Amino acid sequence: MNQIRWLRVLSVAVVAAGCRQTVAPDLRSLPGDVSELVSQLPKLRTASTVFEFPEQGFLLFTASYGEPQDCPSGCFYSTAWGIKYAGRIGWIYGAPTMSSFYDVRTSDSFLFDETLWDRMEKEWVGAEFRIVLACDSDTPITALERLATRLPEDGWPFFADLLVDVAQRRDARHVAEIISTLGSSTYNYSYSREHAANALATWPSQPTGRYCPPS
């Protein structure tokens, strides 16, 4: 019995030590400029490429960083996601507020390509990537229209309401029209359709909320 108790104490000590341990991550598999960006995260733990489209010069990467959290249950860390594209790099989600976030430009054509959207939807950050596109004023209105058209398949009623808000701010009436007539879906868009219809009834009207994060 004493041996079993000792083993239990030892296992708890090992878990706690693992939480406190800081291991220098191997960044050699990442491009140099990406390695430089992720190395600025506080207490960087790991960093890696998620996927890339080399022919388009696009790369999605992720990193875990910061203090260990909830260690009695096994420890987890903050996670950040970023992209490299068109000779620029930046975070799209999860990095500290003072970090360098990716600034979408009208010339970023592959970011508006549905081939990329389909691939991004397979990742946890796919929904956040849609927010990045919708909330950036440089994203073409035609891309917003396609994002609205994809809602029955891609899901997320919050994003439908966000698009109505963005449509009002950018006077993109057709985006609201698409949402007001969304077809059948496994997602409940009843409020979103009503939201869009109310906006259209008084167009051009002021948005009823602010769904995009502060710029």
* CA separation, residue 156 to residues 36, 56, 84, 131, 197 (Å): 34, 28, 26, 11, 18
Residue with tokens 């440089």: 138
Q: Model-level pTM greater than 0.85?
A: no
Q: List, in sequence order, every residue forming a beta bridge with 53; answer none if it has no partner.
A: 58
102 φ, ψ to 5°? -70, 130
Q: 130 in a domain, yes or no?
A: no
Predicted local confidence at residue 71, as pLDDT: 65
Which amino acid is residue 171, in one-letter code? D
Q: 122 in a domain, yes or no?
A: no
Q: What is the pLDDT of residues 89-132, one digit of tens each?
A: 999 999 998 889 999 999 999 999 999 999 999 999 999 999 99
Mean pLDDT of the chain: 87
* CA separation, residue 201 to residues 112, 168, 175, 197 (Å): 29, 12, 14, 6
Q: 215 in a domain, yes or no?
A: yes
Which amino acid is residue 210, in one-letter code? R
Domain that holds residue 96: 1-102
Q: Are residues 86 and 144 in the same domain?
A: no
Q: What is the pLDDT of residues 8-59, one digit of tens each?
A: 333 333 334 444 455 667 676 799 999 999 999 999 989 999 999 999 999 9
Q: 95 in a domain, yes or no?
A: yes
Domain count, the chain: 2
